[in-house]
Structure 1
Amino acid sequence: MTALLAPPAPSAVPAPAAPGPSRLWTPKRVLVTRSAAERPHGQRVLARLEAAGVDAIELLPGDRLPSLKGDDDRAAFMAAKDTMALVVPPPSKRKLQPIPPSADFRLDLAEGCPAHCQYCYLAGSLSGPPITRVWADLDEVLEGLDDYVGRGAVTSGTLERGGEGTTFEASCYTDPLAIEHLTGGLARMVEHFGTHEWPGPVQLRATTKFDDVADLLELPHGGRTRLRFSVNATSVDRRFEGATAKVPARLRALAAVAAAGYPVGVTIAPIMPVDGWREQYAELLDGIAAAVPAGHDLTVECITHRFTPGSKETLLDWYPRTKLEMDESRRTTKRGKFGSVKHVYRKETMTELRGWFEREVAERLPGARLLYWT
């Protein structure tokens, strides 16, 4: 009756010791709505917050969050980035949306991220102050996933990626590992995907810039969760990816989860033609090859840097001294079918980047599948 994805064969390489996390976020303020505190997952999160020593927890009398104000815009931004809110999202959030080219459906456990990436994808996607909102209705969301199995259009039933089954992306609007020590939400999702009797093949997908994977290694994942690590050239990592685990630490975490039998992946993003980019990205690919045993299930996703007028304005407000290149005169403008504007690299640059990555990924990671380039 139940179609299941077979778990991967055990790795022949001895499992490395779980790496210690290089960075854990501690919010300076936690806001908890009344409805969130009543949910079972909300109560589990509260227990984890207390165990982590977070004492600035405010239990609100209702379900509205107070405004976050500072002495100026910069102070308001920093206050928001240091704040976590535990809330119950509106009912509209329960209806999962497609998320091409990554997965069939977006499966959010939170919105917002405590990291300080100066190219932040969320700058043009989420409105309001950039607090990290954790959803307290995770149990109800997981219970409703069976109805989506077999109904996707990105991987489900496709020739190229049909073997992945119906895919659910958990890191569209957050970095789930960045907050896992406070929420336990990713582990709960992994266990559900690994042990639930599904009506067809499924896969949970999550990507991260963090390395706190120790609590995930012994979970009964059943090969149905693909853990991916967002990685980049050394100069991009050092200059633009603040408050994250550095790329070498992410690669050590990648090695640990691969040894634990998870299918794994890397998201190389955002790719930038910085000085010495060929040498830096070649070094990165070699580091990935060293972390993942030959023959292990490894995917690669390549995403070039782009920005919108709205995201540029927001990012310059957030990081006014950034050296991130966002010069429209050096870009090509792409317009969406609803009039959206996006600034991407010019055709000649994109062609050079894509040709190099396709050749080098094939040579340096011969067993990997390159899922897409964008």
Structure 2
Amino acid sequence: MTPHDPPSPVQPRPGPPRVWLPRRVWITAAAAEQPHTAEIVRRCEAAGVTEIETLSGNRLTGLSGGSEREVYARAKSTLAVVVAPPSALKPQPIPPSADWRIDLARGCPAHCQYCYLAGSLTGPPVTRLYANLDDVLAGIGTHAGRGTVTSASADRAHEGTTFELSCYTDPLGLEHLSGALALAISRVGAGAYGAEASLRFTTKYDGVGALLDLDHARRTRVRFSVNAAPVARRFEGGTAAVSARLAALASMARAGYPVGLTLAPVMPVVDWREAYGQLLDDVATALDGVAGLDLTAEIITHRFTPGSKEVLLGWYPQTRLEMDEERRTPKRSKFGGVKFVYDKTTMAEMRSWFTAELDRRLPNARLLYWT
């Protein structure tokens, strides 16, 4: 559906990890009173951020004005350190990934033209990092032992009660500024919230160095979101190269972490079988020889809503991402919302291919779900 260059093998990429450096950091008055904020400030200063301001109140102003694209650019270069509201402190069900959702932040520093958050978050897309970290993580303790996805699944019961950390953010993309991910992994690894709890997060970044030596007790599964070369090159701005993600995947697996692939969003681009076949082969090469490998896969096809399409076209007016309702099938939720997915024939063809090729090229991978 989208022309592209012929797929080429992805080789592990040497060099420093891809990190995001905001132009400015705003700290709300309430966040300034939180103990963890001092650590965030220390990390931001160490990373080279020079514009760090403590606000007199708790509202974020000054982001609007100009075109939608200008607002987008201003917001995406801003990190706001805020206090998570009460609504964000109560874990929410998040099937089919995990039992519950825990939010360390809200917003993402990447520039993916298919952004999953478009249309689901209101206002300018500023990244908000939560300073009241103890309050946020407390939900793990109150909800461990409960849930309906892994807690009640015969196939996934060994994972315990799972808590997804990447529903509304990419926590690894912010870790060099927050330290929240390492703290959560260490606490869960030490059993601070009970033996039932385990964490999950997915990422498009590769800065895993600070996580490799943590005592994680195999209670955190890190999944790397990867895509075929023509999709990743064209639509995943501001992220680590897929080769770097695969190198990080291998490093985490060798450090004893359970790992995973989030193949998303899968698109039937021109020669998609060859492109995705190359991706699966690259994964197999990266993980070759890893002892005790625990690998899962989650496959998510591309979809959009009328609201997300409108937002994305405002952010990326020149995008070549296919979002043509006439070429899609509407799928309605029980709440009356609609999203546009690929037609039944395309979905069946892709599902059949991915299921077979995943089993053939990565026989140790467990497919958790296809959607």
Q: TM-score, normalised by structure 2?
A: 0.94
Deviation at 1:21, TM superposition (A): 3.4
Cα 1:326–1:66 change in 2 (3 A) is same
Quote the Cα distance in structure 2 between the aligned partners of 1:96 and 1:176. Answer: 17
Residue 280 (structure 2) pairs with residue 285 (structure 1):
yes
Quote the Cα distance in structure 1 between the aligned partners of 2:178 and 2:112. Answer: 22
Deviation at 1:226, TM superposition (A): 0.4
Deviation at 1:147, TM superposition (A): 1.6
Q: Could you tell me which amino acid in structure 2 is paired with residue 284 of structure 1?
A: L
Q: Is the 8 A contact 1:194 1:224 kept in 2?
A: yes
Q: Could you tell me which amino acid in structure 2 is paired with residue 253 of structure 1?
A: A
Cα 1:198–1:185 change in 2 (3 A) is closer
Q: Could you tell me which amino acid in structure 2 is paired with residue 114 of structure 1?
A: P
Residue 119 (structure 2) pairs with residue 131 (structure 1):
no
Deviation at 1:200, TM superposition (A): 3.6
Match for residue 58 of structure 1? 53
Residue 175 (structure 2) pairs with residue 180 (structure 1):
yes
**Offset from partner CA, 1:176-206 (integer Å, 9 cap, x none):** 1111111111111111111124434221001
Identify the range of structure 1 (219-228 vs 20-29) with the bigger mean alpha-carbon deviation: 20-29
Q: Is the 8 A contact 1:19 1:211 kept in 2?
A: no
Q: Could you tell me which amino acid in structure 2 is paired with residue 361 of structure 1?
A: L
Quote the Cα distance in structure 2 between the aligned partners of 1:284 and 1:249. Answer: 13
Match for residue 331 of structure 2? 334
Q: Is the 8 A contact 1:70 1:79 kept in 2?
A: no
Q: Could you tell me which amino acid in structure 1 is paired with residue 299 of structure 2?
A: C
Deviation at 1:137, TM superposition (A): 1.0
Deviation at 1:323, TM superposition (A): 0.3
Q: Is the 8 A contact 1:19 1:213 kept in 2?
A: no
Cα 1:197–1:36 change in 2 (3 A) is closer
Deviation at 1:46, TM superposition (A): 1.1
Q: Could you tell me which amino acid in structure 1 is paired with residue 308 of structure 2?
A: S
The counterpart of 2:314, out of the listed 317, 325, 347, is 317
Identify the range of structure 1 (250-259 vs 197-206) with the bigger mean alpha-carbon deviation: 197-206
Structure 1's consecutive aligned runs of 4 or more residues displaced over 6 angstroms after TM superposition are none
Corresponding residue SS for 1:179: helix
**Offset from partner CA, 1:248-306 (integer Å, 9 cap, x none):** 11000101111111000010000000011101111111111122226510000000000
Quote the Cα distance in structure 2 between the aligned partners of 1:19 and 1:191. Answer: 27
Quote the Cα distance in structure 2 between the aligned partners of 1:371 and 1:178. Answer: 24
Residue 25 (structure 2) pairs with residue 30 (structure 1):
yes
Deviation at 1:18, TM superposition (A): 11
Q: Is the 8 A contact 1:195 1:221 kept in 2?
A: yes
Identify the range of structure 1 (340-349 vs 135-144) with the bigger mean alpha-carbon deviation: 135-144
Residue 323 (structure 2) pairs with residue 348 (structure 1):
no
Corresponding residue SS for 1:334: strand
Corresponding residue SS for 2:92: coil
Q: Could you tell me which amino acid in structure 1 is paired with residue 96 of structure 2?
A: P
The counterpart of 2:117, out of the listed 122, 132, 136, is 122
Tell me the C-alpha RMSD between the 2 structures. 1.5
Cα 1:104–1:20 change in 2 (3 A) is farther
Q: Could you tell me which amino acid in structure 1 is paired with residue 224 of structure 2?
A: F
Identify the range of structure 1 (133-142 vs 79-88) with the bigger mean alpha-carbon deviation: 133-142
Match for residue 154 of structure 1? 149
What are structure 1's unaligned runs of at least 5 residues?
A: 1-16
Corresponding residue SS for 1:268: strand
Q: Is the 8 A contact 1:228 1:265 kept in 2?
A: yes
Match for residue 298 of structure 2? 301
Percent identity between the aligned chains?
61
Quote the Cα distance in structure 2 between the aligned partners of 1:117 and 1:142. Answer: 28
Q: Could you tell me which amino acid in structure 1 is paired with residue 356 of structure 2?
A: R
Match for residue 108 of structure 1? 103
Cα 1:207–1:153 change in 2 (3 A) is same
Quote the Cα distance in structure 1 between the aligned partners of 2:339 and 2:78. Answer: 30
Corresponding residue SS for 1:278: helix
The counterpart of 2:77, out of the listed 58, 64, 82, is 82
Deviation at 1:66, TM superposition (A): 1.4
Quote the Cα distance in structure 1 between the aligned partners of 2:332 and 2:138. Answer: 38
Cα 1:354–1:295 change in 2 (3 A) is farther
Q: Is the 8 A contact 1:267 1:301 kept in 2?
A: yes
What is the number of equivalent residue pairs in this alignment?
358
Quote the Cα distance in structure 2 between the aligned partners of 1:65 and 1:29. Answer: 12
Match for residue 239 of structure 2? 244
